[in-house]
Amino acid sequence: DNQRIGWKNKNIQEYLEELNKDQVLFVLHNLGTNANNIGITDLKLATQCRARLPFRFSAKIKNFGTQDLDRGLLKVSILKPEDYWQKESRKTLWPSTSTTFSLLAGEEKLISLPPMILEKEGVYFAKASIQKISEDDEDALPLDNVRFFAFVVQRSARILLVDGEVGELSETDFLRLALNPNILDAKDAPSLFTPIRRTTLPEKDLEDYEAIVLANYGNLSPLEAQKLEDYVQKGGGLVIFLGENFRRKTTYFDSQKGKKVEEYPAVKKYNLYLYRDGKGILPGKLKWMYRKTYANLAPKSYSHPLFHFFENYKDRLGAPRFDKYLEIHPASKATVLATFTDASGTPAILEQSYGQGKVLLFNTSADRDWTNFPVTQAYLIFVRSMVSYVAKKSKTTANYLIGQSLVFPWKEGYELELHSPMGDEMINPVEKKEDLLVIKPEMATQIGFYELRWRLGVEVQKKDYFSINRQDIEGDLESSSEEETKGYLAPLTLDFRSQDESRTKEISLKITPKGHLWSHFMFLAFFFLLFEIWLAYWFGAKDK
């Protein structure tokens, strides 16, 4: 019915202005609010979606009606894109999940569905539907009882752990166990994270990792620093732990100063190669400082994703002791997320965005050298939250609402094909705007799933998938008032006349036609045409 969205739509306004009628009559039929009208207003993933691991969907359901719903059934079915356009008999049966719900009149509720597991990574389609509304009455608007969502099942996130101290107890042992507790029992057990330990940065393919963790890695070279900076610039996530390598010092005789000078090589390298006077990726400048008394961790805000889980368990995060740490001067673009409870409020955890990526600096060791944090209950949850927060964003799909702009990056030389939910094929359905491709609005007006194919010659090089859903306001069938309708039609030059009746309000809207002169001209042209035909006939008869 388009309601408020439709009346504001530019195309509809233009259409109304072009009507060549003497009078246009709009009738507002006051139906009131329907007793039974349930709609799905949103569908999304409630958790990370990794192959072979449980994940959940959540959906928002709203009761637009005036009657309470005691029992409804919400179901989410899964399809692969190659099955979506197949006949029902040829479709592969994929998992589904469902749950029952109840709603008071006018209530909107977020519903979490039971978990599902998909074995393989790739693009999937999810269709949510309300299967059963009421025993007696049908739903007033069945069209909003479905919702579509395209999503990607990811592989286990590959986390590179660069170990700066290899021995009987490795610097990264606690990190590996925190990221994958099953690593000692079953090598092939599914996990959100796949930790990969190395003693140096690999020469290439850093982009193959979702995040990199440096643990007491003091022997940093200029080339490695540049590779890390490029990695973060492109969207990678970097976590830096300190440790004993940053405490080790060297002594040499400075001939200019005429005395022995002490320096900390690891601290010097990080400041020189990564901090770069505040222009690099390191969130702060390091300076060695030794503390004889321990301190605790004090987050600035528990609303941050790193600490959100501990909002109701603050004592768990505040219990670990930190015996050693450095003095850190935060960079101008850095944010201090937590401090130590010492007299100076020394920065403990710092964050900095750089390019498309993030860097976290934790002013302690990843093992027990400087703290007892790794053997506390909070460590596992904190490490996993930290890595998830900085990890680069994996490939995703797009989900739109009718009327939103559908935008894709422009690529030279490609021919595009768009497949609609009904299976229609449209060639080059886009318009180029600067460096973007925008799908023409008239090409994507159906709700459901779409496939966009990128061709070079006859070969399909790439496929993108997306869904389109109705605006959630469309589920509201309450009639607009006379005043609202006048407001929607305000851009037009109208003559309003109203008449009240028991159930119907009628408004006559008179538009002065722009086509009157053209109608007179056409009438005269038609008259002269008939006159010419009559003259031709008359002269022809006279010649005979």
Nearest to 283 by CA among 335, 241, 216, 232: 335
Which residue type sits at 448?
G
Q: Confidence class of residue 11 from pLDDT cuts 50, 70 and 90?
A: low
User: How would you label 20-44 residue by residue, b for 16+ Cβ within 10 Å and e otherwise?
Assistant: eeeeeeeebeeeebbebbbbbbbbe
CA distances from 444 to 243, 398, 400, 429, 434 (A): 56, 14, 10, 9, 21
For the cut 80, the answer to whether the pLDDT of residue 73 exceeds it is yes
- pLDDT computed for residue 134 by the predictor: 59
Question: What distance in Å separates the CA atoms of residue 477 and residue 39, rounded to the nearest whole number?
Answer: 11
Average pLDDT value for residue range 172-197: 79
pTM: 0.67
| Res 516: pLDDT | 47
What does the pLDDT read at residue 125? 95
Please report which confidence band the pLDDT of residue 539 belongs to, taking 50, 70 and 90 as the band edges: low
Least-confidence region, from 53-62, 97-106, 511-520: 511-520
Q: Is the pLDDT of residue 10 over 80?
A: no
Lowest-pLDDT range of 61-70, 173-182, 252-261, 500-509: 500-509
pLDDT at position 7 is 44
Higher-pLDDT residue of 135 and 234 is: 234
Q: In this model, does residue 18 exceed pLDDT 80?
A: no
- pLDDT at 270 (0 to 100): 97
Beta-bridge partner residues of 99: 74
Residue range 495-531, pLDDT digits in tens: 555 555 433 344 444 434 444 455 555 666 666 777 7
Most confident of 11-20, 237-246, 252-261, 435-444: 237-246
Which of 61-70, 156-165, 354-363, 439-448 tops mean pLDDT?
A: 354-363
CATH code that applies to domain 38-154+396-473: 2.60.40.10
- The residues, any chain, with a CB within 8 Å of residue 360's CB and separated by 6 or more, are 237, 238, 239, 240, 283, 349, 350, 351, 386, 389, 390
Q: Quote the pLDDT of residue 193.
A: 85
Q: List the single range of 60-64, 220-224, 242-246, 468-472 with lowest mean pLDDT.
A: 468-472
Residue 212 pairs in a beta bridge with 160, 238
Q: Please give the CATH topology (third level) of the domain spanning 157-390.
A: Rossmann fold (3.40.50)
Question: What phi, psi does 316 have (nearest 5°)?
Answer: -65, -40
pLDDT of residue 359: 97
pLDDT, residue 53, reads 83
What is the pLDDT, as a whole number, of residue 526? Answer: 67
